[in-house]
A and B are shown apart, each in its own frame.
Chain A
Amino acid sequence: ETGVTQSPTHLIKTRGQQVTLRCSSQSGHNTVSWYQQALGQGPQFIFQYYREEENGRGNFPPRFSGLQFPNYSSELNVNALELDDSALYLCASSLIGENYGYTFGSGTRLTVV
């Protein structure tokens, strides 16, 4: 059974640029959630995808968008990067309805300069 894998592990971008982060779900899971974890803080919910559609969203602006593919992998896209977007971005997969059984990847560390 494979876990959740994310790529890339580290990324440096310039303010105003766009970035795409990728996530492969754990085998057997059908939902993908994305979280932003600033340094010294707990993860904050960005959104969840189920059946290739957004299935809930946290308090993040529209420049944060996502996709889920038929194989349950997912992308997080962030446009017009701001310095405050610098954080660890975590992907978590689960089975729909299981509000506790989240498996997290190791994250992508994004630095915006």
Chain B
Amino acid sequence: QKEVEQDPGPLSVPEGAIVSLNCTYSNSAFQYFMWYRQYSRKGPELLMYTYSSGNKEDGRFTAQVDKSSKYISLFIRDSQPSDSATYLCAMSDDNNDMRFGAGTRLTVKP
């Protein structure tokens, strides 16, 4: 079993849809939870981070962390074609290495 599990998709939705992306993990020591967006031929770009459990909202994006279930989610409201990218969940404890999921490829169709 991988330490971080993420459905690779691909996921295709129409413009304006609500997108739900999820990851599960096995290491209960993780405290920092991040979502990165990666466009083709680019490095990952930090979208949101959450410390411990709870929700965080930033514009059209909402991140949720449920440590009791070891489950994190990213919701994208009113999705746009420019949101088409690979979304990577990442998490870390107090050490230096982030553990990434495999990434979910999202396409938002006009």
Contacts and interface: CB of A to CB of B under 8 A. Distances in A.
Given A42-B100, A45-B97, A101 B46 contact: yes
A105 B38 CA distance: 11
A98 to B, nearest CB: 9
Interface stretch (B66-74, B77-85, B87-95): B87-95
A92 B92 CA distance: 15
A56 interface: yes
Interface residues of A, number: 25
Contacts of B88: 42-43
Contacts, number: 65
The residue in A33, A45, A56 that gathers the most chain B C-beta atoms within 10 A of its C-beta is: A45
B97 A107 contact: no
A43 B102 contact: no
Given A42-B100, A45-B99, A58-B97, A105 B46 contact: no
Interface in B36-76: 36, 41-46, 49, 51
Interface residues of B, number: 29
A42 B6 contact: yes
Contacts of A92: 43
A102 B46 contact: yes
Nearest to B34: A100
A43 B100 contact: yes
Contacts of B98: 43, 45, 99, 102
Interface in A76-113: 90, 92, 99-107
B96 A104 contact: no
